[in-house]
Structure formats: C-alpha cells, structure tokens
Amino acid sequence: MTKNMFVYETDKDILVVDCGVGFPEEEMMGVDLVIPDISYLKDRREKIRAIILSHGHDDHIGGLPYILPQLPKNLPVFAPKWAVALSQLKLEEFGLFANLREIDEQSKLSLGQFLVEFIKVTHSIPDTFHLVISTPVGIIYHAADFKLDLTPVMGEPTSQEKIVAVGKRGVLCLLSDCLRAENQGFTPPEAKLEEMFEKEITSCSGKFLVTTMSSNISRLKQAIDVSRRHNRRVVLVGKSIEKNFKLAQTLRYLDFPPSLFAKRKEMSNYSPAALTLLVAGSQGQAGSALDKIVAGEFENIKIEPGDKVIFSTDYIPGNETAIYRLIDNIYRLGGEVVYQDIRSGVHVSGHGSQKDLGKLMTMAKPRWLIPIGGNFRHMVAYQELAKKEGFKKGQVILADGGETVELDSQGNARIGQKIETRQIMVDALGVGDVGNVVLRDRQILAAEGIVVVIIAIDQNTHGLEGDPEVITRGFVYIKENLKLLGQTKEKIRQAVRETKGKRLDSRLVRRRIQEELEGFFFKSTGRRPMVLPVIIEV
C-alpha cells in the first residue's frame, strides 16, 4: 500500500490529489502507519487551492486526520460521495471536521489556474473517479486506481467514450495506476466472483465464512446476494465490516432488508448451514475478528467441521505468513478453506492488468506517461507495456517518491528537482516522533535485547560501592546463568578499576563498561545486546 499524494503546481496555484497512508515496512518496528511528508506544502500553504480525493481507500484518504490540521483552515476537500462519507467517519474519530464537498461526473471545479473534470471508473470500491485536469500547459489525465470492468456489480461501467473524447482534446500527460502492470490480459470482472460464491456455498454444510477487504462493498453485496438465495442469514463480524456495511446501507449503496441478517447473539437460533458470516481480518491481522475466531477467542463463534472460510482477497506482501498460519489453523479445526493458491477465481483485483492499462493509454493518447501507485518494478513493467502499445521508452517518465516532473508550454517534460521527503511514521498517538535512531534502537532491542548495569561509585575513593546490579531483558536470563553473571560483574569491576583516575569521570567509566561488556557478551554468547550502564555517585 503506497501513501498516495500528488501535487500539481503552477507559479500561482497548487492542487493536491489524494492524501493516503502507507503500511510500515518490516524494519519499522512498532510503527502503525506512514504518512506523506508535507514540508513542501507547508512552505507554500497560501498557494493550495484544494485537495481532491479520487476514491475512498485508505491509501488515498487515510492521511487526512494527520495532514489537514497542518494545512490552511477550511481548505476545501473534494471527493466522491462514498469517499466523503468514509473521510467524515475517519475525521470524526479524531474529533476533526473538514470542508468536505461532494463531486460527481457532472462536476467541473475551477481552482485557480486549474479546471478539474471527473470520469467515473470501476475499481474495488464504489465511486472511484479519474481526474481530467486542464492546466496552463495542457491537459493532465490523472488515472488513480482502476480497472475496466464492463459488468460491475455496483454502478455503471467506465465510460470509455468520455476517455476517448478527452484523448481527442489532446492529453499532455497521463498519470496511470501501474500496480498490476506485471499481469497479462484484462483483470477479470467482479461479477466472476458470484459464480465462485455460488459454487462454494452450495457445497458447504456448515457456516459459510467470507473474509475480504472491509471496504469492498460490492464483494459484500455478492456474498449477501448468494446467501439470500441459499436461505442463509448473514452475520457481520468485526468493527470495520460493521462500520462499512452500516454506512453503505445508510447511503443506499446497499439496500438489504434487515430480515436477511442475524445478530451475533441470535446465532444459536440457527443451524450452521443457515448462516453466512462476513468477517473482518482477511490479511491475518493480529487481533482481528477472523484471527480471534480461529484462535478460539471470539465470543460465540468457533470454527467447526463443515464450516468453510473463503479468503476473497489478495495477500499484501509481508502478510503471507500470517495468512498462511490462519489457513493452517482453520484446517486443524476441521474447517475447509478456499484461498488463491488452490482456487484461482476466489478473488479478483481492483487494479487493471496490462490490457486495461494499455487500453487507457491508447484511448488517452498522451504525449507523456507517468506510472503511479506501484513500486518501482511496476513502473518499469508499465514502461515495457507502453513500448508494446507503440509509445517510446522516453515518453514514460519513472518518477520515484519525492521526485518532480516539470511540464512546460512547449509540451516538454523533464524530471525536476527532487524534494527531500522523510518517512513520517505514526506510532500510536505520536506523529513523526519516532525517527531513525529510535527505530535502530528497536531493531537492536528486538534481535539482541538489553543489559542494564547499575553501579554505585564512591565520590571520594572512586571505587565501586557494593555489588554491581545487572538486569537483562530480551537477552539470555542472566540470573539463571550464574557463571555468565559472575563474569559480567568481574568485567564491570575491572572496567571501574582501570578508569580510576584523579577525577571521577562517569562518562569514561560508562564507555569503558560498555566496550568491555559488548566484547565480552559477543565472545561468550555470540550476541550484541544493547548495554546501558548507569552510574550513581554516592
């Protein structure tokens, strides 16, 4: 998941598109989220005309609560209806309000030197839009996440005529989703999933559990439609699923009668074969509803023989081991599991594959192309694809995070100055207060543990007063290892003796103890715990 944020700038105006969060990478221990670094924007606050959100996924809106408070008050945030609803919900959790304004296909926004129009496209969340941005140097087609689904489960298919019409007006630059540029063909339509659900529910003799991204409303709809046909009551399990479903019903994206549903408490009134559970936690997140159910820690809900769990989801890289562990444990409980490694049709992506992406290129006919929304290898794959579609390699600009692209009125494009951006990490309530030093410490603590040494030194004699105290955490149990403890204390005494001088220099003593023990621990245990000497002068 990439923390999407794009900035369009003229000499007078700035337009911000999307404001997402990213997941932390593995070595960002304990970090919850990563948000865009907006130092550049803060220095140009007065130029910012608006934020526009392309759709309601977290990697496009999740940064709002952290970033809006740093931008001008009342800055308009334009978004499609569903993204407005989700943003509102998110901001309310933080006690924040924003100047949220709804856009639709008819909207035309005049924002300083920018004129923005919208084209509705298909994706894995309702109300996803591409932006057509008229600028002083030409038209920019901003194609955030999409696929060309001709038979969407909710809403209309992408209006390809409109894209062709924009292409005819002349597109200077196309920014396009590239996440699945490695994959051949078209991404299959969402409607395909219904066959799969139908087949799997028919052969299910127990509870039918479906787990997917909670924001994938149309997937939920399909699972509910199928359950209705099979006379199964639907139970929503997990906060994110409940929240999204309730909002979708309120806003009439979904319109199911309450009689289709059962509350969790009422489940015992139904036989397992009369129940479908829509469960949050498809990425194997610790503490999620599915994780707890499988661990036997969820009130009232257990996996039993005959139950079937459908993982209708992609594995986000880094989550594989957690997901596989869940699958193994469901099998151990006697449940059946349907997942992508054994059934290819159990999930379809919301992102276009090579044919979707290629078709957009040929419809928009841009002079320049910039792949966005993927990692560097996806951008390279997009570049390869563009070559196959008849573009020149040089027309595709690979811009890494923080890099700028300059377009001029002669229609030229070049990579401009790189803006220094840091990874702003959100750790619990702290935003940006966990930096690289803290992370490095956490990495050492995680792999090697810590040894705290407390000694008292006599201010007059400069000698050791009493016995050194040695406390370990995450290192071997030193108290169960008397030999190691004895040697450690001897090393400490030795370090104190060696540093005894005319003046008591605690910094020197501390450093000496640290060196001595680090070497000693590595030699005797092969480990390099963090050594923290504390000196008390008495």
Q: 82 and 252 in contact (C-beta within 8 Å)?
A: no
In single-letter form, the type of residue at position 216 comes to N
Residue 482 contacts its own copies per CB under 8 A: no
Q: Could you give the CA distance from residue 20 to residue 1 in angstroms, rounded to a whole number?
A: 9
Binding segment toward its own copies, per CB under 8 A, in 131-139, 304-312, 424-432, 504-512? 424-432
The residue from 297, 408, 441, 515 that contacts its own copies (CB under 8 A) is 441
Considering only residues 163-222, where is the footprint of its own copies by CB under 8 A? 182
Closest to its own copies by CB, 95 vs 526, is 526
Least separation in angstroms between CB 331 and its own copies: 5
Q: Could you give the CA distance from residue 339 to residue 69 in angstroms, rounded to a whole number?
A: 41
- CA distance to 194, 233, 278, 279, 398, per residue, from 198 (Å): 6, 15, 15, 18, 43
Residue 285 contacts its own copies per CB under 8 A: no
Q: And the tokens for 473?
A: 């955490």
Residue 442 contacts its own copies per CB under 8 A: yes
Considering only residues 356-375, where is the footprint of its own copies by CB under 8 A? 375
Closest to its own copies by CB, 16 vs 425, is 425
Strands 275-279 and 233-237: parallel
Least separation in angstroms between CB 327 and its own copies: 5
Residue 299 contacts its own copies per CB under 8 A: no
The residue from 12, 229, 377, 387 that contacts its own copies (CB under 8 A) is 377
Q: 485 and 470 in contact (C-beta within 8 Å)?
A: yes
Residue 519 contacts its own copies per CB under 8 A: no
Q: 361 and 176 in contact (C-beta within 8 Å)?
A: yes
Q: 37 and 18 in contact (C-beta within 8 Å)?
A: no
Residue 318 contacts its own copies per CB under 8 A: yes
Binding segment toward its own copies, per CB under 8 A, in 98-106, 243-251, 257-265, 467-475? 467-475
Size, binding site for its own copies by CB under 8 A: 64
Q: And the tokens for 416?
A: 């401009």
Which residues are within 8 A (CB) of 420 and not within 5 positions of it... i.e. 6 or more apart?
Answer: 39, 402
Q: Could you give the CA distance from residue 522 to residue 535 in angstroms, rounded to a whole number?
A: 23
Q: 236 and 336 in contact (C-beta within 8 Å)?
A: no
Least separation in angstroms between CB 399 and its own copies: 12
Q: In what order do the strands lie in the sheet with 450-457?
A: 464-473, 450-457, 530-537
Least separation in angstroms between CB 236 and its own copies: 27
List contacts with its own copies (CB under 8 A): 25-26, 29-30, 182, 317-318, 320-322, 324, 327-329, 331-332, 337, 341-342, 375-377, 379-381, 400, 427-430, 433-435, 437-438, 441-443, 445-450, 452, 454, 456, 469, 471, 473-477, 481, 524-527, 530, 532, 534, 536, 538
